[in-house]
Structure 1
């Protein structure tokens, strides 16, 4: 997001329980790549 960190933490925690909508959308899109 314009070079800003929107979420950080343990990799498993961020991907299993994202807090930000942007992170959820990004993670769901990466499943199709």
Structure 2
């Protein structure tokens, strides 16, 4: 589930950060903030 969640978040905010660091989960924290 953790892998599917960041994938969707990245798709929603592709302008914020590229789909490169969606494996660690750092961008996910940024999107939540």
Scaled by the length of structure 1, what TM-score is found? 0.29
Scaled by the length of structure 2, what TM-score is found? 0.29
Higher RCO, Cα 8 Å, sep 6+: 2
